[in-house]
Structure 1
Amino acid sequence: MGVIAEACGWLATGANWAGENGVAHRLGEHLYLTAVSLALACAIALPTAAYLGHIGRGGALAVNLSNAGRAVPTFAVLVLLTLTPLAGHGDLPTIIALVLFAVPPLLTNAYVGVREADQDVVEAARGMGMSGPQLLFRAELPLAFALIMTGVRSAGVQVVATATLAALPGGGGLGRIITGGFNTYDTPQVVAGALLVAALALLVEALLALVERVCDPMRRRPPAASGARGSGAPAEAGRV
């Protein structure tokens, strides 16, 4: 508990928050890396998974290939990208590595969610004359939304935690506070950096859970629609 108290004291010191190496600046860098990486990973993984889940072909191969990428250490990918002339230095190698790290949970959850959507509802929608895109956007994706958001939350927390590795090859983020503490043998600073990363991960998890709750299309449907769905009414409507 003594180290925790010293870390809290370090965080309570205003001088540690100011300047280019201060907490405020490093937190902004960390949030930037997290937001950009997660947004790019979602833009790549979610449309691909939704399409493959809708057509029912090629999804298993894509999921297995993306999951195989988890066996490659993120730090090794980051170092290799830093040494690659095309990626160069700065934030680009870190963002690429984080995107590659975030894609597997996004792709897996979105594919499984769309592919295993309630077939009674899907068949009812198809029987009502919905086209392929209408079926995907109005039936399959709403049914898969909860599982998709579970993947987004998992990827978001993982990206927040893994972005600390950006400091090792000289990047920014909260990892610089931790490595700075190691370099100066300042244990309270190391613990303070770790606490900041943990708190940010919990905050991201809570915000994404709130987004899921507010935006879930199944929650926003009227009670009558929910009752009809539970009683099998959509199937009857599809046969009319």
Structure 2
Amino acid sequence: MPVQLRQLFAIMLHTCDLSQPMQVWEKHKDSLCEDFRHTAELMDGPVFNSDLIYNNALIIIEDIVLHMGGNHLSFFGKPGPQRQEQNGFAQGLFRDRNYNVAELTELIETNVPRLVADQRYAFDSIMSTVHEGRGGIFFLDAAGGTGKTFILNLLLARVRMDNKIAMAVASSGIAAILLKGGRTAHSTINLMATDSPMCGIKRGTDQGNLLKETKLIMWDKATMSHKRALETVD
């Protein structure tokens, strides 16, 4: 529920021209951060940093607004989140591992047996590669309405169920919203518009270290992107 609430708040900021967004945040911030608070209690016990929890939620909300083509939170009269470079790696791990394992397990146990033969083959092939750490590139191509997004979200859930990082990106903001924890590829991987494969992530940085920890990168609508973008990730 907090994930959906953050998405709703971001949509309201972007499309509804809220007259008092600060009051909305102050009134509902605990509900918007409920999952973060639960994770922090499991990790640190009853003593945890509430400001860090609120800040992480604001980062995600701002990212959603930006992915929809909107502005930073400061544009709406609300102080923007603190994106401190030295804490980027920790914040990234916190965000990308902040999932309810019990819910993910139930999702997998309920839906994987329902996959048809072709879907199950794709699911098992990709997960086998992830578990064995062999690396590889898979293209999932099928007609519209055949369950591609459904399989993508199941793959994300299966990796995250083991408390590992699965990065969900898409070539457009609309497509990214359909993936659990989805973000645009250009903002996540920091792709640069050049004639040669290049991204703005440097070795040893927080973003670079986070990518090293990532077990699966799921890129929806990849064929909409320039071939140089795909070569950069490869």
Q: TM-score range by the shorter chain?
A: under 0.3
Structure 1 length-normalised TM = 0.25
**Which has more radius of gyration?**
1
Structure 2 length-normalised TM = 0.26
Query: Which structure has greater strand proportion?
Result: 2
